């Protein structure tokens, strides 16, 4: 790990701890929130490399903290940008088929019924020698599984 010192006066003239992002600042991030101060990392472009160092800002109006932890020479570590995977939270996609499939079922008399609820369940049922498929909502899939006359063979979530 390569390190080098940055003199406190050099950093203060460029107002690094005050949040000024001049051409020398590549990145800045909050690292830790303490009781009386907040600690930040800043990555500087300097020479032919990037250097990360740490500073703090006061969290309280009546509490004074030294930005550079009372150091005259602030030790910086050489770093480089690296691609990293990160998690992004997205909205849940709709059900396959747009989730607009309506619930359809056949009652005991053989009449086809349709309700307006979305049908996330695919149900395969037996009628005589034939297997048939239908789309059911949460309520009707439960009814079909409990009713002996339905002859449910398979239930799958869409």
DSSP 102-133: EEEEE-TTS-EEEEEEE--EEEEEEETTEEEE
114 vs 109: CA distance, rounded Å: 15
**CA atoms within 13 A of residue 92's CA, in its CB half-sphere:** 4
What confidence score (pLDDT) does residue 120 get? 82
What confidence tens digit (pLDDT) does each residue in 36-52 have?
899 999 999 998 899 99
C-alpha count within 13 angstroms, C-beta hemisphere, residue 52: 15
Whether 11 and 17 have beta carbons less than 8 Å apart is answered as yes
Residue 148 Rama label (left phi>0; alpha psi -120 to 50; beta): alpha
Going from the first residue of the chain to its last (158 residues), give the mean pLDDT of each consecutive group of 10, the final group possibly shorter: 94 91 90 91 92 93 89 95 69 46 72 79 73 78 72 77
What's the distance, Cα to Cα, between the start and end of the chain in Å?
53
Q: Give the sign of the dihedral formed by CA 133, CA 137, CA 140, CA 146.
A: positive
């Amino acid at each position: 790990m390569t390190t080098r010192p940055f003199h406190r006066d050099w950093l203060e003239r460029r107002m690094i701890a005050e949040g000024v992002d001049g051409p020398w600042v590549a990145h800045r991030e909050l690292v830790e929130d303490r009781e009386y101060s907040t600690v930040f990392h800043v990555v500087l472009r300097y020479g032919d490399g990037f250097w990360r160092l740490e500073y703090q800002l006061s969290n309280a109006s009546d509490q004074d903290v030294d930005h550079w932890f009372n150091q005259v020479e602030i030790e910086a570590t050489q770093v480089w940008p690296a691609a990293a995977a990160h998690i992004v939270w997205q909205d849940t996609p709709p059900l396959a088929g747009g989730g607009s499939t309506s619930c359809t079922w056949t009652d005991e008399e053989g009449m086809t019924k349709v309700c307006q609820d979305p049908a996330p369940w695919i149900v395969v049922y037996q009628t005589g020698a034939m297997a048939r498929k239908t789309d059911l909502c949460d309520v009707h899939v439960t009814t079909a599984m409990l009713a002996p006359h339905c002859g449910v063979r398979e239930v799958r979530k869409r």
